[in-house]
């Protein structure tokens, strides 16, 4: 082994041991490491000084009972729930436009990207100011002038996946309004140009142009005077583009052949006496299509919602989510979580408001083509989630891998020549958890926080039950613990016992393939993740149900560049072993 490689391994081990001393998730270690890079980042984080600096440690206990396992855990620091403190991103002095044009994205590793278009009345710059945040909202990197990837606002995560940060941008540049990425890393974008036409572009996985601004709808069929469009893609690769036609109709067009051809505009809703505007579209994991938009009824701006089945027929007809009209709605944005709950944020007025609003609805609600009552579909009624004496406008929202909403917003005076800033805020929840049964079915745990953190689950099957719980602190940092319990018996459930497995792990690398053997004294579940030498997750977590005895699993690491990597695995109550991997 040459000296350069030895040095790299020693440095990597030093960094890794430093992360171990923090006793946190490597994603957080990445932030600690980057914090040391520049004084600027420490200045930007000054509003976080009073917050915890490490994630909470949870200590999970499983206790067997008669046909039941009782779950309890403790934490080494106070836990939090609800909207947390804001994080400062960037400030713009004497900004020569009425508001900031922002974009928000999140990649598969929960890195958050905040973009601000640098274009204004006195600056025709087509680039962006980019802030890169960790999953808590702490700033880890800034690009004062960022031109995107192949001129589009696209980022790549540590696993090489494309992620399109798609929200409308001011001006009629080549940059598209909105975008999505399919399973093959192809990028699909749309825009409404300065004539109101709807255009579509397609890029390959490395940014090469396949279709360049081909028309989806033109003339009277388009008429997108609001100058924006919104795009979504389902699991079959079908693409949908939605827009407001002439401020009186919400329509969408669909392509079933990756953008080669498009349907005529399909009506969603209309009001020819008043206005329907600012539509958003998303597709949930079940391929249902969801729309929200603002509706001016002559007196108030309401928040409206509609849901279609995957075949385009109506599941939930137009439903008013703010029927009382006590809260005005302007430019609503939404995102869907893994449980098909839909999170919606907005500011009441185009010029801004002292408060930002949030509501949560049940995206699984099905009315067989009828409208839903607000009380039937709404989980959390519309309410202000952040207020102060400053004007705030145009919030954007994304959801991370733990279903936490991240929101950014523009704060400052409405009008040209005034100072404006961008802030980030995150919502966390009461402790969460799940149990994986011996038949691999997954069941959520309901955590009781009265006087502690407890739950329970039935044990109808013999075998290993794998439990995971997680919770957040006031900084938005997450901690978790895992445990497994083996339930066995002869002929009924009257003689059950449990025990923890002992184990040995032997990893090997060959031609980009990572193989590990796990010798277990009892059935258990193993979680595996791969990190690089500065703590960035380079491969998503894999979970395996393993039998008693020798288990052999192989993962493909051929997409990773040569270097030093770390294997992290959890077996039974968070116990684990980390090894240095050298890929040829």
One-character DSSP codes across 313-371: -EEEEEEES-TT--S--EEEEEEE-TT-EEEEEEESSTT-EEEEEEEEEETT---TTEE
Whole-Å CA distances, 62 to 278, 381, 447, 547: 49, 36, 14, 20
What is residue 509's predicted lDDT score, i.e. its pLDDT?
A: 61
C-alpha to C-alpha distance for 431 and 82, rounded to whole angstroms:
11
How far apart (Å, rounded) are the C-alpha atoms in residues 251 and 274?
A: 16
Per residue in 204-228, pLDDT (tens digit) is 887 788 998 899 999 878 887 776 7
Tell me, what's the pLDDT at 17? 36
Angle at 350 between CA 316 and CA 331, to 5 degrees: 25
Q: What is the pLDDT of residues 355-399, one digit of tens each?
A: 999 999 999 999 999 999 999 999 999 999 999 999 999 999 999
> Which is more confident, 19 or 248?
248
127 — pLDDT class (breaks 50, 70, 90): confident
Backbone φ, ψ for residue 151 (5° rounding):
65, 5
pTM comes to 0.77
Say how many Å lie between the first and final Cα of the chain, rounded. Answer: 12
Give yes or no for a contact between 541 and 27, defined as CB atoms under 8 angstroms apart: no
Kindly indicate the confidence band of residue 21, based on its pLDDT and cuts at 50, 70 and 90: very low
Q: Nearest 10 degrees: CA dihedral of 237, 241, 242, 245?
A: -150
Q: Are 241 and 230 in contact (CB under 8 A)?
A: yes
Cross-strand bridge partners of residue 410: 393, 422
**pLDDT band at residue 523 under the 50/70/90 scheme:** confident
Q: Between the ranges 35-39, 347-351, 369-373, where is the mean pLDDT highest? A: 369-373
pLDDT, tens only, 252-261: 999 999 999 9
Q: What is the pLDDT of residue 175?
A: 52
pLDDT at res. 32: 26
Measuring CA to CA, how many Å separate 406 from each of 128, 177, 326, 428? 20, 21, 25, 9
**pLDDT of amino acid 536:** 62
pLDDT (tens digit per residue) in 435-479 = 999 888 889 999 999 989 999 999 988 888 999 999 999 999 999
Kindly state the average pLDDT of the residues 302-318. Answer: 98
Tokens coding 520: 């277990």
pLDDT (average), residues 58-74: 93
Helix (H, G, I), strand (E, B) or coil at 465: strand
Report the candidate in 334, 293, 288, 340 with the shortest Cα–Cα distance to residue 314. Answer: 288
Q: Running DSSP on this structure, what letter comes out for residue 158?
A: T
Higher pLDDT pick, 183 / 469:
469
- The domains located in the chain, with CATH, are 67-77+433-499 (2.60.40)
pLDDT(41) > 80: no
């Amino acid at each position: 082994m040459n000296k350069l490689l030895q040095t790299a391994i020693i440095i990597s081990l030093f960094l890794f041991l430093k992360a171990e001393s923090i006793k946190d998730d490597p994603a957080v270690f990445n932030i600690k490491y980057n914090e040391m890079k520049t004084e600027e980042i420490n200045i930007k984080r000054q509003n976080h000084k009073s917050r915890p600096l490490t994630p909470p440690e949870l200590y999970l206990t499983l206790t067997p009972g008669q046909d039941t396992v009782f779950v309890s855990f403790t934490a080494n620091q106070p836990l939090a729930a609800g909207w947390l403190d804001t994080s400062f991103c960037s400030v713009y002095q004497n900004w020569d436009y009425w508001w900031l044009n922002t974009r928000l994205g999140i990649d598969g590793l929960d890195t958050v990207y905040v973009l601000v278009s640098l274009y204004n009345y006195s600056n025709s710059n087509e680039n962006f100011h980019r802030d890169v945040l960790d999953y808590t909202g702490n700033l880890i990197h800034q690009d004062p002038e960022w031109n995107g990837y192949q001129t589009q606002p696209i980022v790549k995560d540590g696993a090489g996946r494309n992620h399109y940060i798609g929200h409308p941008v001011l001006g009629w540049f080549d940059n598209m309004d909105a975008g999505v990425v399919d399973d093959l890393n192809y990028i699909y974008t749309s825009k409404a140009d300065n004539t109101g036409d709807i255009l579509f572009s397609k890029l390959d996985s490395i940014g090469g142009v396949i279709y360049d601004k081909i028309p989806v709808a033109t003339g009277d069929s388009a008429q997108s005077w609001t100058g924006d469009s919104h795009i979504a893609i389902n699991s079959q690769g079908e693409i949908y583009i939605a827009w407001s036609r002439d401020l009186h109709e919400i329509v969408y067009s669909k392509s079933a052949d990756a953008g080669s051809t498009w349907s005529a505009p399909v009506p969603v809703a209309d009001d020819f006496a008043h206005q329907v505007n600012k539509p958003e579209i998303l597709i949930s994991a079940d391929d249902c299509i969801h729309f929200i938009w603002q509706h001016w009824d002559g007196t108030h701006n309401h928040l409206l919602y509609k849901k279609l089945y995957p075949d385009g027929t109506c599941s939930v007809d137009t439903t008013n989510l703010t029927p009382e009209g006590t809260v005005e709605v302007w430019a609503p944005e939404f995102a869907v979580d893994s449980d098909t709950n839909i999170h919606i944020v907005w500011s009441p007025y185009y010029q801004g408001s002292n408060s930002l609003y949030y509501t949560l609805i049940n995206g699984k609600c099905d009315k067989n083509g009828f409208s839903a009552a607000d009380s039937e579909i709404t989980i959390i009624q519309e309410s202000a989630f952040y207020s102060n004496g400053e004007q705030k406008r145009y919030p954007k929202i994304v959801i991370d891998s733990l279903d936490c909403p991240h929101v950014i917003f523009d704060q400052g005076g409405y009008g040209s020549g005034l100072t404006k800033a961008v802030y980030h805020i995150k919502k966390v929840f009461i402790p969460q958890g799940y149990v994986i049964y011996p038949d691999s079915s997954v069941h959520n745990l309901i955590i009781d926080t009265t006087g502690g953190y407890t739950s329970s689950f039935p044990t109808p099957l013999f075998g290993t039950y794998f439990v995971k719980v997680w919770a957040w602190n006031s900084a938005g940092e997450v901690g978790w613990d895992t445990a497994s319990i083996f339930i066995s018996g002869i002929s009924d459930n009257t003689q059950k016992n449990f025990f923890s497995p002992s184990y040995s792990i032997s990893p090997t690398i060959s031609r980009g393939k990572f193989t590990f053997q796990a010798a277990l004294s009892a059935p258990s579940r193993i979680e595996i993740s791969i990190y690089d030498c500065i703590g960035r997750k380079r491969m998503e977590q894999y979970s395996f149900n393993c039998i008693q005895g020798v288990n052999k699993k192989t993962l493909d690491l051929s997409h990773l560049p040569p270097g030093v990597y770390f294997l992290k695995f959890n077996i039974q109550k968070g116990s684990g072993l980390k090894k240095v991997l050298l890929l040829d």
